[in-house]
Chains A and B, each alone.
Chain A
């Protein structure tokens, strides 16, 4: 089969706010529903300032580890779990999702949220992962995490908050820069 060269990406720019966000975009399950968890944090630039015009999307398995192939993310009915959500940041650079904690996708695997980040000033999308802070054995054996040094490994694992929420900050640049991923065929 022919290998086609990919179309280049470009920045999302500053004016997506009236186009891409929609009601319920970040509520994969209704806020406060039984079993729901709040996943949230800040997107920061190289100076540590909040990025007020970023957009995050997450893709994830359900609690049993199954990745849903369910329609309806754009008009959520409140009952179906589609495993995909979108959150723009606010003026402080804060994003949040109401979702379920993903189960492991394979036996012994470490559960994670797949993440893509867009922002004004960011010329192409960035991928990363948010791992759940549980099951140290699975995290230690994870093929990606085991290639990282201790600080970078920590940077990909969410922090459990006192209220049960998950906190994960994205640093686009700087000493705490988030490890970002490239996948086969990307360049």
Chain B
């Protein structure tokens, strides 16, 4: 075990990076999801199951995601920049992409929820005590429904990186939290979208809890010039593939 810093009781980035490297070196090829037990992320140590997950055969309510519609979500909720009296500070961006199932089929008319820090790396959440400014014109929460082709789209501000206390001088890469539903309840997931080229990737135990570099890259949006808008914003593209199959496979007769 590495020696904690005398003032903060926190271990160094070097120690965390060393732990990450050792785990990655012994990882199986082909892991696509994060490890649940990943000690470099200290909060995970007491919060992950140690027994194998049981194989479930989905039935009943597991076969049907909840249904959302225009009674649930206003179209204005997809624009995070219009909630205040003025313009939020920061780099205005659009993030768009498709939500697909494992067979490439679009997830239609389904809820997507996002939340994020502001441009200075500060969340509105009361527990965020990072001494960076709050923005009176930015709360950082949004919702939308996917369209008939599975497309979602948000207008927002590029979030800033922020410090946390996992270890000494720990910083989260800039990210947007995404909450996603599929067509089956078993496809429910929450994840984080990152921005290309972030120098903090290699240092972050949450991002690195996915041991495969190719799998990690699936969380990184691409700059998309076709989504950028003249004189107004920069565009990013990020597609999401949900794990798990769904019942219509059996209706199609190919399962």
Q: Interface majority SS on B: helix, strand, loop or mixed?
A: loop
Interface size class of A (residues with CB under 8 A): 35 or more
Which of A30-38, A59-67, A133-141, A158-166 binds B? A59-67
Which A residue sits closest to B43, measured CB to CB? A121
Which B residue sits closest to A186, measured CB to CB? B243
**A67 and B63 contacting across the interface, CB-CB below 8 Å:** yes
Q: A2-B104, A12-B190 are known contacts. Are A69 and B46 too (CB-CB below 8 A)?
A: no
Which of B8-16, B88-96, B121-129, B150-158 binds A? B121-129
8 Å CB interface, A61-97 against B? 61, 65, 67-75, 82-84
Q: Interface majority SS on A: helix, strand, loop or mixed?
A: loop
**B43 and A120 contacting across the interface, CB-CB below 8 Å:** yes
Q: Which residues of A contact B141 (CB under 8 A)?
A: 18-19
Interface size class of B (residues with CB under 8 A): 35 or more
Interface flags, A94-129, vs B, CB<8A=1, else 0: 000000001001100100111010111111111101
* B146: Cβ under 8 A from any A Cβ: no
- 20 A–B contact pairs at CB < 8 A? A1-B254, A5-B32, A6-B33, A7-B219, A9-B190, A11-B43, A12-B190, A17-B125, A18-B123, A59-B61, A83-B66, A105-B60, A122-B44, A122-B48, A125-B189, A183-B56, A183-B244, A185-B243, A185-B245, A186-B243
Q: Residues of A at under 8 Å CB distance from B?
A: 1-20, 45-47, 49, 51, 57, 59-61, 65, 67-75, 82-84, 102, 105-106, 109, 112-114, 116, 118-127, 129, 143-144, 147-148, 172-173, 177-187
